[in-house]
Amino acid sequence: MNISADFLQRLTSALGPASVITDGPDLEPYSVDWRRLFPGTPACVVRPSSTAQVAHIVQVCREAGVPLVPQGGNTGLAGGAVPDPSGTQVVLSLNRMAAVRNVDAVGMTIEAEAGCILKVAQDAASAVGRLLPISLAAEGSATIGGVVAANAGGVNVLRYGMTRSLVLGLEVVLPDGTVANGLRRLRKDNAGYDWKQLFIGSEGTLGIVTAAILRLLPRPKHSVTALLSVADPAAALRLLALAQDELGDQISAFELISATSMQLVAKHAGLKAPIAQGDWFVLIEAASSLPGLREAAEAMLGAAFEQEIALDGVIAESGAQAAQLWALREHVTESEAREGKSVKHDVSVPLTEVPRFLDEAGEALAAGAPGTRVNAFGHLGDGNIHYNVLVDAGQDAGVVNRIVHDVVAAFGGSISAEHGIGQYRVGELARYRAQTELDLARKLKRALDPDGLLNPGKVLSP
Ligand code: 2HG
Ligand code: ZN
């Protein structure tokens, strides 16, 4: 702890002692990310139970010049929600503000507080026959506030867009301690600047999201899940075009899995693909409110074999089998972590460039970082590949980053498609974004947070 007794007294008298954690093992879950790559030391952890309390904490911190790190489910992959090791930063956890405030089945909206677990919000929507389509491996722990602050992606972006496309209204506590209440559930609202967009994906550096209203969709009654093997990523892209012809806008996920990813999942999670091994696999999900989906999926599979695009394939016969196919994809991250050290890259390139990107990045690594292994998988339908490189302890992560990101840049891609910048990619963003864009980002940051007290060192260097 590195803060004055007076400052602590001001926090505890406003929140009550139970909402302020100053030492002991209770601090630990808030101090480090779940992969334990970014260990920090908080000055203390505060757990407000209302927007008014969040605003009060921000004011107290501002008066004392103490930096604040907002935190949701702490499931991020870029170290964006944990404090630095200085012992001077207060972690503001939103996990006590967890209510679903309202679900409107006719208006098709859900209003939830920032600390509401994504899965809880999904289930609340589902209970009234509606779909909250944000779907990611961490949905059992990730929170609505974090999902909005990170503009989370996941496996359904292909059909429903990133989180941004689902946010109708937002409540944000600004760095000066005032509350911007934009909790409107309007489908159309062109009245002036759409300021909420600034905070979506700002990773807690411009304001603290305290509640959100998200758009819902009709919950599809039918779904099909298929796993196919293909010879190479170019064939996977041909399969995407074919699936779009046969299944159209009913495709909700189109995921690419390399043989290496499958091998890791077999080794560490004991799960095996029920089809003949190929070098690459594609997991497709389609969903619809109308019947006829399975027939369409069978026609697609037949055409994929006929046109020699797919080597092998299976359509799940039941919900349980669909879950087994998804488990293969969902266990890649965890299996990769068990294998050892990896250098993660969350990149996107224009969709049609994915095969060439994979070839060229592979060649560049073989030349510049021999002995490394690539674990590539991800959201092919979005041009977003998790191009993770398995390295041994001695390998310099910076060298690997440079090789991969230079190839990404050559294809006009992004060094962070969905995971954000956090603290992990601050240097990479500064390197690959144009100066004008970085200057604009700094102007926005200075305008909203002139003292630089909100999540310092994340996204932009201090
Ligand atoms: C996924 O798509 C997540 O499973 C995690 O974005 C990706 O582990 C990763 O690199
Ligand atoms: Zn992903």
Query: Which atom in ligand 1 lies closest to the alpha carbon of residue 344?
Result: 10
State the distance from the centre of ligand 1 to the C-alpha of 63, rounded, in angstroms.
Answer: 39
Q: Measured from the CB, is residue 288 less than 6 Å from ligand 1?
A: no
pLDDT of 323 higher than 80? yes
Query: Which atom in ligand 1 lies closest to the alpha carbon of residue 137?
Result: 4
Q: How much is the mean pLDDT over the chain?
A: 97
The span from the CA of 110 to the CA of 134, in Å, is: 13
pLDDT band of residue 58 (cuts 50, 70, 90) is very high
pLDDT of 1 higher than 60? no
Average of per-residue pLDDT across 391-396: 92
The span from the CA of 430 to the CA of 450, in Å, is: 20
Token pair 């200075």 is found at 446
Residue 79 structure tokens: 């170290």
Residue nearest to ligand 1 atom 2, measured at CA: 378
The answer to whether the CB of 199 falls within 8 A of the CB of 206 is yes
The span from the CA of 57 to the CA of 235, in Å, is: 54
pLDDT band of residue 285 (cuts 50, 70, 90) is very high
What is the per-residue pLDDT for 374? 98
Q: Is this prediction's pTM over 0.85? A: yes
The span from the CA of 248 to the CA of 257, in Å, is: 22
**Terminal-to-terminal C-alpha distance of the chain:** 22
- Sign of the dihedral through C-alpha 307, 312, 317, 322: negative
- Sign of the dihedral through C-alpha 201, 206, 208, 210: negative
What is the per-residue pLDDT for 278? 86
Domains of the chain: 5-93 (3.30.43.10), 100-218 (3.30.465.10), 222-333 (3.30.70.2190), 340-420 (3.30.70.2740)
Instruction: Please state, as a whole number, how many other Cβ atoms lie within 10 Å of the Cβ of residue 435.
Output: 8
**Model pLDDT for residues 188-246, shown as the tens digit of each residue:** 999 999 999 999 999 999 999 999 999 999 999 999 999 999 999 999 999 999 999 99
The answer to whether the CB of 183 falls within 8 A of the CB of 169 is yes
At CA 405, angle to CA 400 and CA 411, rounded to 5?
Answer: 145
Q: Measured from the CB, is residue 386 less than 6 Å from ligand 1?
A: yes
The answer to whether the CB of 110 falls within 8 A of the CB of 125 is yes
Residue nearest to ligand 1 atom 8, measured at CA: 333
Average of per-residue pLDDT across 112-118: 99
Smallest Cα–Cα separation from 238: which of 386, 346, 354? 354
**Model pLDDT for residues 143-195, shown as the tens digit of each residue:** 999 999 999 999 999 999 999 999 999 999 999 999 999 999 999 999 999 99
Q: Which residue of 33, 34, 35, 77 sits with most ligand 1 atoms within 8 Å of its CB, as the best mutation to test the pocket?
A: 77
pLDDT band of residue 440 (cuts 50, 70, 90) is very high
pLDDT of 98 higher than 80? yes
The span from the CA of 265 to the CA of 189, in Å, is: 46
pLDDT of 365 higher than 80? yes
Q: Which ligand is nearest to the CA of 76?
A: 1
Helix ranges (DSSP H) in 281-434: 293-306, 319-330, 332-339, 354-368, 397-410, 426-432
% of the chain beyond a pLDDT of 70: 100
State the distance from the centre of ligand 2 to the C-alpha of 268, rounded, in angstroms.
Answer: 19
Q: Measured from the CB, is residue 344 less than 6 Å from ligand 1?
A: yes
Average of per-residue pLDDT across 325-349: 97
Residue 448 structure tokens: 């909203």
Q: Which residue of 158, 331, 346, 384 sits with most ligand 1 atoms within 8 Å of its CB, as the best mutation to test the pocket?
A: 346
